[in-house]
């Protein structure tokens, strides 16, 4: 199953509603002790029974929207196009293609098109952040040794 990640920035009204909803939902979540919760939809007076984990994800979505951050939800085992992987990593599609071709990120081909597992893109992103953190630590250590940084 291939996915294209579509990121939409919430409107100002969306942000305000998300902030209000997030605050209420977050308080409710702290009081739930079971595996399921029920939510009543006011318009239709329907009761929807949801897994607690789904409500926690909804809470994170509302939090991101309240902060004005674009969000996208895709199944973790999804295959991404090179453009979707680039969108997720915040880089260009040609850069992602280079990462695939040099073996940095595994991929498969469907016809002429490359497909990348979402998990593999996240693993690359995590390793990149770890390498950046290590480089920063080393840089700060060098600055301390050279007397450029006071602790």
Report residue 123's pLDDT band, with 50, 70 and 90 as the boundaries: very high
Query: Is the domain of 26 the same as that of 61?
Result: yes
Query: Is the domain of 62 the same as that of 86?
Result: no
Report residue 97's pLDDT band, with 50, 70 and 90 as the boundaries: very high
What's the CA gap between 56 and 54, in Å, rounded? 5
pLDDT of residue 99: 96
As for how many domains the chain has, the answer is 2
Range of the domain at 83: 79-145
Query: Is the domain of 38 the same as that of 90?
Result: no
Long-range contact pairs involving 11-20 (C-beta distance under 8 Å, separation at least 24): 14/65, 15/65, 15/66, 15/67, 15/68, 18/62, 18/63, 18/65, 18/66, 19/62, 19/66
* 73 lies in some domain: no
Predicted confidence (pLDDT) at residue 75 exceeds the cutoff of 70:
no
Per the confidence metrics, is the pTM higher than 0.75?
Answer: no
Query: Is the domain of 56 the same as that of 106?
Result: no
Report residue 66's pLDDT band, with 50, 70 and 90 as the boundaries: very high
pLDDT of residue 145: 74
* 74 lies in some domain: no
Report residue 76's pLDDT band, with 50, 70 and 90 as the boundaries: low
Predicted confidence (pLDDT) at residue 8 exceeds the cutoff of 90:
no
* 87 lies in some domain: yes
Listed residues 66, 93, 111: the one ending a domain: 66
The proportion of the chain whose per-residue pLDDT surpasses 70, expressed as a percent, equals 89
């Amino acid at each position: 199953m291939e996915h294209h990640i579509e990121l939409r920035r919430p409107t100002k009204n969306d942000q305000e509603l998300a902030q209000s909803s997030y605050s209420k939902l977050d308080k409710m979540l702290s009081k739930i002790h079971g595996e399921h919760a029920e939510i009543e939809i006011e318009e239709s007076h329907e009761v929807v029974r949801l897994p607690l984990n789904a409500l926690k994800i909804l809470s994170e979505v509302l939090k991101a929207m309240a902060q004005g951050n674009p969000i996208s939800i895709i199944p973790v085992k999804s295959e991404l196009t090179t453009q979707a992987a680039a969108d997720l990593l915040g880089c260009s599609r040609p850069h992602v293609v280079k990462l695939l071709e040099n073996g940095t990120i595994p991929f498969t081909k469907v016809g002429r098109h490359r497909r990348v597992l979402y998990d593999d893109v996240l693993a690359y992103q995590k390793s990149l952040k770890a390498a950046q953190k290590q480089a920063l630590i080393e840089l700060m250590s060098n600055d301390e040794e050279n007397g450029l940084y006071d602790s």
